[in-house]
Structure 1
Amino acid sequence: MGKNLTVGMSKELTLKTLPEHSAQRFFQNLPNVFATPFLGGFMEQVCASLIDEHLEPGMQSVGMSMNLKHIAPTPLGMEIKVVCEVTAIEGRKVTFKLEAFDEVEKVGEATHERFLIKADKFNAHVLEKAKKISPS
């Protein structure tokens, strides 16, 4: 399922923060800084990207949980670097430790769990669920 995916593997990606990443996209009366939901999404992207490099055909991963601490603000225009490391593999569940840094300091940390899935089986389940609310 996850060929050659091992504990200790790591990956890092960098993102240039832009106006569309502002916390004000979620609520107007928030600071105009890099938003926590975007940090969490970027962290998920880095982990999914690492897993994707090791998946067998027909497999994907989905997020199960994230425990995120956004510990410092980042002005828009700065770059954010996220580093993830595989800390555990239990069957089809993969656990990651993450750290995020802007150009000045550490701005976030998280643990994240992803689950390896068979895409066709998962998509069939989603389709069946959608049919339950669709008008006949």
Structure 2
Amino acid sequence: MMVGTSDTAPRIGSGRIAVLATPKMINLIEEAALAAVEHLLPDGKQSLGTHVDISHLAATPVGMTVKAEAELIEVNGRKLLFAVRAHDEMDLIGEGRHERVIVTAASFQARIDEKGKSLRT
């Protein structure tokens, strides 16, 4: 992705300097992990992000391109653990671990719908 002003820390409220915001970098990393496994999951299954442990190592200015990669390094039952990295055109800007869990989409959605009903009672 090319960093735009809408991706900067001041725009999303995470800082005052107009560089790529950490939450935006984490979102890009989660997208990479999802893309790495989504096509491998059986019909009706999805993966959900449950944990991130990411270091933001270098600032990226507006106009620079950022790419993220995710390598599946461990499967433990329904849990998937990824080694993740993000780079801009010059530097490694982030790295760490990201965990996702595999769920049955229909039953997960049913639980969320039930939880949402509590807002209407």
Bin the TM-score by the shorter chain: over 0.9
Q: What is the root-mean-square deviation of aligned Cα atoms in Å?
A: 1.2
1:103 aligns to 2:100 (yes or no): no
Query: SS where residue 81 of structure 2 aligns?
Result: strand
Q: TM-score, normalised by structure 2?
A: 0.95
What are the Cα deviations for residues 78-122 of structure 1, in whole angstroms up to 9, with x where unaligned? 011111111100011000001111111111112000001100000
1:51 aligns to 2:3 (yes or no): no
Q: Which residue of 78, 87, 90 corresponds with 2:76?
A: 90
Query: SS where residue 119 of structure 2 aligns?
Result: coil
Query: SS where residue 74 of structure 2 aligns?
Result: strand
**Deviates most, 120-129 or 75-84:** 75-84
In structure 1, runs of 5+ residues without a counterpart are 1-14
Separation in 1, partners of 2:3, 2:39: 25
Separation in 2, partners of 1:98, 1:27: 24
Q: Which residue of 118, 124, 127 corresponds with 2:110?
A: 124
Matches within 5 A, 1:1-136: 15-27=1-13, 30-135=16-121
Runs of 4+ in 1 over 2 A off after TM superposition: 26-29
Q: TM-score, normalised by structure 1?
A: 0.85
Q: CA deviation at 1:27?
A: 2.7
Separation in 2, partners of 1:28, 1:37: 8
In structure 2, runs of 5+ residues without a counterpart are none
Letter in 2 for 1:89: V
Q: Among the aligned pairs, what percent are the same residue?
A: 31
